A and B are shown apart, each in its own frame.
Chain A
Amino acid sequence: QKEVEQDPGPLSVPEGAIVSLNCTYSNSAFQYFMWYRQYSRKGPELLMYTYSSGNKEDGRFTAQVDKSSKYISLFIRDSQPSDSATYLCAMRRANQAGTALIFGKGTTLSVSS
């Protein structure tokens, strides 16, 4: 079993839809959770960062962490064509400062106008 699982999609939605992107993980020691957005031929861009469980909201984006289920989500409200990209989840243990994040494979999202 991979440490981080993410459905690669592709996921296609119409403009204005609510998008739900998810990752599951197997290591209960993960404490830091991030979501990155990667446009084609560009480096990943940090979108959301959460520590431990709970919700975090930033504009149209909401990140949720459910540690009991080992499940994290990114919700995008009022999706726009400019949200079309690949979204990668990433995570790390608390006592691994200086080590690379563990990434999911990424979900490709396409928002049509």
Chain B
Amino acid sequence: GAVVSQHPSWVICKSGTSVKIECRSLDFQATTMFWYRQFPKQSLMLMATSNEGSKATYEQGVEKDKFLINHASLTLSTLTVTSAHPEDSSFYICSAMSPGGLETQYFGPGTRLLVL
């Protein structure tokens, strides 16, 4: 299947700092990528849909000024958590929509964020 990578795999930062997470589709071009957040023992929660070359679409309740998404190329989307607080500590996972007729999503390995 298609391969999606994320970097970094884990990050610890101080409260008030910003953290950038990268999501790359390694062997295919993805016009659409998605960002999810997952708390321990909870389901995936869709945060936003990222389309290459246009503004991201955020789900209700997700602050667009806090979670900045940039999809500058067909293989890279970034999520920046601005002014991070301890309650932002979570597992952030991206996924990329596969091209062609399969129309399914392939997930990255996730990024664990801990805000102290």
Residues of A within 8 A of B (CB): 32, 34, 36, 41-46, 49, 88, 90, 92, 97-101, 103-106
Contact = CB atoms under 8 A, between A and B. Distances in A.
Given A88-B43, A98-B97, A99-B49, A44 B104 contact: no
Nearest to B98: A46
Nearest to B108: A43
Contacts of A32: 103-104
> Is the contact region of chain B dominated by helix, strand, or loop, or is it mixed?
strand
B78 interface: no
B11 interface: no
B91 to A, nearest CB: 7
Task: Name the interface size band of chain B.
Answer: 20 to 34
A55 B91 CA distance: 33
B32 A98 contact: yes
Contact of A34 (B6, B32, B104, B109): B104
Given A88-B43, A98-B51, A43 B110 contact: yes
Nearest to B38: A38
Contacts of B110: 41-43
Give the residue among A46, A49, A98, A106 with the most B Cβ atoms within 10 A.
Answer: A46
Closest 6 CB pairs of A and B: A43-B107, A105-B43, A43-B110, A44-B107, A43-B109, A98-B32
Contacts of B109: 42-43
Given A43-B110, A98-B51, A49 B104 contact: yes
